Structure 1
Amino acid sequence: MTVRQLAARFGLPGAYLGTTFANGATMIAVMVAVAGEAGTGWAVSAVLICQVVPQIALAALAAPLVDRVDQRKIVLVSSAVQAFVVLGAAAHPVTLVLISMILLKAIASALDAPALLLLAERAKQDNDDGGARSFARMDTARLVGSLLGPLTGGLIVQSLGVAWVLVVHAGVLLVLATLTMLTPPQRPAAESTSQSWWTQVKAAPQLLLQQAPTRVAMIGLVASIVFTSFYAVAEVLYGLKTLSLTPLGYAVLGQCFIVGRIVGSRLGARVTDHRARSWLFGSTLSMGLGLLLPGLVVSPYAAGLGFAVAGFSNAVQVASIRFIIVGSVPNALRGRALSTMGSVNQSAGLIGTTAAAPVLGAVGPAATLLVAGAGTLITALLAAGASKRLTRNANAPLEPVRTSGPLDRRGAR
């Protein structure tokens, strides 16, 4: 196996792990820094908005670049811009500078995830898996990075300060660029360049919505992310208030979902064309049951088990949805399809977080988890019904076409 093949198989997941690790460390460091300054209560909300909004808007509008340009160049330019921005912020880490850094970083990195995923999918070494194993490796790397990043960032900012977190981030970006450039070059898929940019932007979302299987998958993705956001909002109060856990106990409880996702991402590597729909239904159903459990049984053990089941199921669910979406679009649109999936993910998360706040205030943490679980179960049942209709329509025999004779009365009307 050549150096480029090794880089594609192991370097890309390592690069993805590094970038999610650095982003998690930087976010926790920035949140601690801005929350600690007097009179900056607005700053935490500003940081979150600056992180999410560019990922929603720019990732969709610039998505054609992922299919039209070598994905390695996208990651290289993004890494260089981000490194310049974070090192500049490290020189003067005050609140306004840190918020501006988060905004500029979000803009520069808007296409990083779809570019890295597309590189992994096109450089896959596994035959006839539709990229499932490549995506599973990338998902595992992302989850491990998101697990370790905030912890490391908290330790560094507590002992050395936020500036050193940003210096580490710049170093990780250099490694990311190096590992990405070592992967095999990918020739962009051939596509007519006579289309307007807006037409190219709309191409993937329109195709995903026109096809019934991908439309069902996208609707399931939105509903699942919305109800997962209910869980994310309720989790902290459920752990600290309802269960009366210590901060350390809450930290352990919070990792159950992440650990479940890491384990589930390995099963996601085995998703196939024949399994995708049934696994999507089963994982959505089990996720709903996992979220219902701590709402019905108020116990740290029930909560840990339920959150772990929900995380495991969510990983399989995402793998199934991605398999359906990527496998349903031509090669020339896969980058835009992945970018669309990311934008929908972020948008649904923002909607779910906004909707969960009044529900949490009205009914409390345990009941909010019940709402999340029940909503996920309803989504599973609706998706199963839609999938059955699709299968029935696909297998239905064609009706004979009458070429002569009187018209049927119903047809004549």
Structure 2
Amino acid sequence: DRPRGWVLGLLASSYVLLIPGLVCTLFSFKIGAIDAITLKEATDNMLSFAKLLWDTGSWSGCILILTFSTIIPVMKIVLLVLGGIWRHSKDERKVTWARRMISCVQVISKWACPDMFAYILMLYLIRSLNHPPTLNGLMILDVGFTCFSVFCLGSTISSLGVRRPPPTADSYDHEAKIPYVGFITSGLFVAFAVLMGIGCSMACMTLRLDIDTLYANGTIDAAMKPFVDQLNLPALAHSNVSIWACCIDLLKMMKSAEANSFFAFVMLAIFVLFATVAHMVVLLILAFKVQLRRDEVSSLRRWEEVSAALRKVSMLDVFLVGVLIVVTSGSIYAKQGVVLGFGPGIWILFGAEACHYATYYLVALAVANRTKDGLPKGRATEDVDSDASEETTEDEEGAI
């Protein structure tokens, strides 16, 4: 029951980076024209950006960003400490709650960093505005991004290594039998693959300069309008980004030894794309193993362990929420002439993630029932829905 050394080390080193991640500069960007006019520039850290949202009336955006970046990390460490203490209690109720706390940490751990993904997309969008000498776009992800990204990834991975205490009582008895679960899952998998492929290739986030607003707020002198019209700024001052395009651009940036490009690529390509697709593949395999009923329960458990890890690090849902938060909070920049928007790809990716969630719950029900049938009487199965915090058995620990 002792905590693993690598888990404690990774968790501690991750939390050391949390404070720098919150207070150090997160990003800086500057958009200019003809090397003489500054259209928009900003330098923010996590806390100053949240304060800016609050001061400009974007209260919901401020609350969400603070919830994800500060409240969830604090909640994780509190739950881990309490869970570690109560797991050794002689009170069965405390042991049960310890198990629930650790399970909760493993589920919410990845949700500390949704807005990081939107900043990665903004990096591409603003750099895409760079059309010198007419229009200049520069953005860098700074040390705050490095620290907070490492914190998010490190704390998420370390949470997977925390052992949950064994159950103290028989668990919930699953009765749902799902015929042809493999075929149903295949249909969901095909729908997911199509939506994922299309969604990743289409723009999911856009940025444009509102020239009229720039005139109205005095950023561009109205007397320069004839000259600006000749520059064709409205046509140049628009960019969009897809996940594929962003990943390719990050690979190119890595060649110039930009450390944050590496972290951004890992977060986007590995945790958003690869982990999500890999989880769907594992769910499909599990579904057919249940339908064909040729595997021993021990074999299903091994696949469940793989699925458990992939589920907790697959971040397509986190990515989507991050883009949603930053774009809806982007009204603070719209008033200054920089307009963020959604591309059609974001809604298609929401559809892909809906297929992912539906597949998970479908296969979870089927696997829970199959393993229950294969266990001796009195042995229980893993809870299907972690949000319901129902009891699970030691044999099923780490289920989907």
**TM-score if structure 1 supplies the norm length?**
0.27
- Higher fraction of helix: 1
Higher strand share goes to which structure? 2
Structure with bigger gyration radius: 2
